[in-house]
Structure 1
Amino acid sequence: MRRSLKIVIIGNFDFSNNLHHATIMSIEHSARVVGVEVDCYWLRIQEAIQIKESKLIEYDGIWVAPDTYENSIELQQIMHIIMQTSIPLFITGGAFPYFIEEIVATYKLNVLESKVISQNLIKDELLQKIEVEPISHNLKILYGDRPRTELTNSRFSIYPAILGPLSKIAIDIEAVNQYDDPEIVSLKSRPFCVATMCIPQICSSVDTPHPLINAFINFMFQLSRGIQPN
C-alpha cells in the first residue's frame, strides 16, 4: 500500500488567515494531479524553534507558510534549523528575506556587514499583482516559457553588492519580477530548496493547480518511491 506524504507547515495557523487556508487547499489540488495522498501538519513558531533534526527528517517536505513574522530572531533561528536538513523545502511570502539572510550568513558573503535585503516594499502587506518572468530552463518548462501573473503581499530587493556573489556562489535565480528583482530562487547545493516572494497557493485551484506546488509535491513523491528526481 502506497504511503501518504507528510508535509510540515511552519507557521502559526490562523483560521481567519485566508493564506493559510489557501496553503492547505493548494496542496490538495496538486496532490490530485500527482496522484498521492498528502498529510499536512502545522508547526507553530515556538514549537519549531525547539524541534530537533531527528524529528524533522520524519517529514517528506517542509513548507514555511506566508505570515506576518513579528519576531525576526525566532524565524531566523528556525531558518537555521531547517537549513541543516536536506528535506525538500518550499518558502513562500514573508519568510523570503530570512532565507536569503541565512544563505548569506552560511556562505559568509557579507564580510562588510552591510544591509543584505530591503524591508517589505508593499505597504500594509496588501495583496498586489506581480509579473513573474521565468529565466531558468526548469522554470520556463513549468511556466510554459511565458510570464505569469501572481499575487503577493511581500516584495523585497536584494542589494546589488550581495546579489552578485550570492547568485554566483549559492543561489540560482529562477524568475524575476517586473522590477528586475529575483522573485523565485533556489539553492544550488540542495535538491528542491525553493523560495519565492509571491504566494502561489492563492492562484491555485482544482482545475488549475499551481505548477510550482505541483513540482514540490511531485519531487517529494518521487523521492518517496526511491527515485532521484531530475
Structure 2
Amino acid sequence: MLKSVKIAIIGDYNFKIPSHLHTNAAFRHCENHFDFSINTFWVNSGDLKESLPNALSNYTGVYLANGPYKEPYTILKAIEHIREQNIPFLAVDKTYKFVLIDLFENVLGFSSVKPDVDKQNEKLNIQNLYEQKLIYFDEDCTIHDCYGRRTSYEYSGEKFQLDPNFAHELKEKGVNFCGSDDDQNLQAIEYSRNDFFVSAMFNPLVNSTEDMPHPLITGLISHAMEVKKKSLSIAEDQLDSSTTGYQHQMV
C-alpha cells in the first residue's frame, strides 16, 4: 500500500514548452532517492473546471506547472481548494502570482487585487531572463527544513516586493515570508497553517539533476507520502473499530 505516491501536476501540458519538459525531468530525478514509486499525472485546467474537487481526490500532493492555462480562473479555484484541504502543494516560478492572488482574495478577503490572469499567450521558456541569486531562508520555515541550510543559489527571473501593510496582514493570517535575495526582494512564501504549502519565485527545475534532485521537489514528495500514511492509518483504525463493534454485537 505504501509502495507508491501519486502527485498531480496541474497544467495544460505542451511538449513545446521547455518548462513542462523540465517539470517531468525534475520528478524523474527523484525516483532513485525514495524507496517508493513516484507517479505523476498531468491534470489540465479544463478537467479541473469540469470536476473540481473530484479531479484531485486521488492525489496526496500537487505541483502547479507554468502556464499558459486555458482556464486560468479555474487554477485559482484549485489553489483555494488545495489550501483549504491541506494538500501538500508546491508552486514555483511564474505560478507564484496565482498563489498570491489566492492569499489576497481568500485569506485577506480583498476582491479587487486580481491582475489580468487571462494574458497568457507568451511562451514561458525557463532558459530566458534567469539569473543566479543567493537566496536566504528563515530557519523556522518548511523551506529551510527541505534544504537543511540557510542559503542556496537559485535561478530567478522575478522581482517582487510587498507593501509592508499587506505583509503585516498576511503574517497575521499565517503567511510566512521565508526567502529573500540580496536586494531584499521576496523569493519564497509559505502558508504556515498547512503542513506543506510553498511558493517560490525562483525556478528549482533549473538546478535539479539525477544526482541531486531539488530539495523543494523532494520535500513535496515526502509530505505527499506522509499524507498517504496518515490516511491509511485512519482507514485502518476505522476498520478495527468497526470490526470490534461487529464482534461485540455477535457476542
CA distance in 2, matches of 1:63, 1:157: 24
% identical aligned pairs: 19
Among 131, 135, 139, the alignment partner of 2:134 is 131
Amino acid at match of 1:91: A
Amino acid at match of 1:134: F
Among 190, 196, 200, the alignment partner of 1:192 is 196
CA displacement, residues 110-169 of structure 1 (integer Å, 9 cap, x when unaligned)? 48x5689xxxxxxx9622323211113344443343421111334333232211211232
Alignment of structure 1 residues 83-94 onto 2, 5 Å: 83-94=83-94
Alignment of structure 1 residues 173-212 onto 2, 5 Å: 173-212=177-216
CA distance in 1, matches of 2:218, 2:11: 21
CA distance in 2, matches of 1:205, 1:176: 24
TM-score normalized by structure 1?
Answer: 0.82
Q: CA RMSD in A?
A: 2.8
Alignment of structure 1 residues 112-131 onto 2, 5 Å: 126-131=129-134
Q: Where do 5+ consecutive residues of structure 2 fail to align?
A: 116-124, 232-251
Whether contact under 8 Å (1:57, 1:85) holds in the other structure is: no
Name which of structure 1's ranges 196-205 and 128-137 shifts more when overlaid on structure 2. Answer: 128-137
What is the aligned length?
A: 220
TM-score normalized by structure 2?
Answer: 0.76
Helix, strand or coil at the partner of 1:225: helix
Q: Where do 5+ consecutive residues of structure 1 fail to align?
A: 117-123
Amino acid at match of 2:198: V
User: Which residue of structure 1 aligns with residue 238 of structure 2?
Assistant: none
User: Which residue of structure 1 aligns with residue 6 of structure 2?
Assistant: 6
- The structure with the largest alpha-carbon Rg is 2
Helix, strand or coil at the partner of 1:226: helix
Amino acid at match of 2:219: A
